[in-house]
Amino acid sequence: MTTIAALIVRDTSYLKFAGQDLADRAARLARRAGIRRVEIVDDHHPFANAPVADLLLVIPERVIVEPKALVKMLRRGVHEPEDATILFDADEQSTHLMLMSPRAVDRVRGLPRLRSGVHRLAVEMVVRVVRMPARFVARIRDARDVARLEAEYMRRMNGGDGEGLFTKNIRFFSISLSRLLLRWSISANEATVAGFAFAVFAGLCFGAGTYWAGIAGALMYWVSMVLDCSDGEIARATLSDSKFGAWLETVTDYLSYFVVLGGIVIGDYRNEGFDHHTLAAGVAAATSIAIVVLVGYLRARVAGSNPGAFDDALAAQLKQGSGTQRFAVWGRQLIKRSFVAHLLVFQAVIGFIPALTEIWAYGAVAALAIVAAVQTHIIRSVRVEPLRPAVTV
């Protein structure tokens, strides 16, 4: 059995990333990767009292790396032992994040700085360089880097380039909001609840049945959608995503659809009485319930251990590019909240929100067919990593 310990090397920068102290965040990252023994030391003879282990992971506090990259590096170190392995960033620069053998640790134990240790290992021992272009790896050099790297990290860890146009439009606002909420110490679950509250207010506005109430409701639902993106950004940026948080987001997302639909029906009934919009709303509601049940079942079956990663894993699978997968990519956009948020604003501006019930009915029927006939088949090949992947040692 291989034992792994982690050494977090801090400096005097006093910088924060996503509202967190850099050293504390690095320690949380190491524990998330399955390392139980984690020590934080200053960059003054950092290796002097390094913990004894078969492998020592050294993380400079200024290095921002996504959890999967760290786990991949640890697994490689366990199965392909080297004197030392060092991680490079996308600019081909050393991050000084290293995985070291006991022999390598002994060689640098008396050195005064981490940089000195890296230099000695590069000169005197065999050091493997690891690059992970598909993973987020970056080093904060000064305070000016923080805002840019926070935004890049949130974008990369929440869909990246694989998101649809409507979600990308929402993400343009949500990342800035997430950074502000982090400064206010707002948690991901609090953002989720706030987003659902805005959806409820939107439904109440639609229920009034007036033009300006519809405009207000559409804007509130847009804000709800921005917060819906922010909760995931906050959770991943702070390494605090959880099964409870993922299911809370899922449930509130589903409920928001019905809150809005109910408000639209009430508003239309006040103005027109029982009409074809009411019938369309009934079809939309029944079909949407079927979609919720089916997608919820598939999510629990495929990603029960990490429900928050379901959408990203499915999107990655759909990127492979067959005709069926391209059709599913298009169809998924019809049932996403980001599409509904844009559609609501358009319908509110033209003053014809009740027509959304008919659009919703047609779209829900088509979406149910896509989910049942296409997505169910594709999901069988989707693989989701556990929420907190422990290194097998």
Domains and CATH numbers, the chain: 4-139 (3.90.550.10), 158-379 (1.20.120.1760)
- Taking the chain, what is the end-to-end CA distance rounded to the nearest angstrom? 6
Given this model, what pLDDT does residue 278 score? 87
DSSP label of 51 = P
CA distance 241 to 224: 19
Enumerate residues 6+ apart whose C-beta is below 8 A from 303. 309, 310, 313, 382, 384
Long-range contacts of residues 107-111, Cβ cutoff 8 Å, at least 24 apart: 108/47, 109/47, 109/48, 109/50, 110/45, 110/47, 110/48, 111/45, 111/47
Burial 223-243 (b: 16+ CB within 10 A, else e): bbbbbbbbbbbbbbbbbbbbe
Q: Where are the alpha helices (DSSP H) in 273-303?
A: 276-303
Given this model, what pLDDT does residue 393 score? 46
Quote the tokens at residue 208. Answer: 């009034």
CA distance 216 to 166: 20
The residues that bridge with 17 in the sheet, in sequence order, are 20
CB neighbourhood size of 362 (10 A): 15
Phi, psi values for residue 157, rounded to 5°: -85, 0
Quote the tokens at residue 138. Answer: 């970056």
Element (H, E) at 156: helix 144-157
CA distance 329 to 352: 28
Q: What is the pLDDT of residues 54-96, one digit of tens each?
A: 999 999 999 999 998 999 999 988 888 889 999 999 889 999 9
Positions of the chain with pLDDT under 50: 390, 392-393
CA distance 45 to 259: 59
CA distance 236 to 238: 5
Given this model, what pLDDT does residue 64 score? 96
Torsion angle of C-alpha atoms 244, 225, 159, 303, degrees rounded to 10: 30
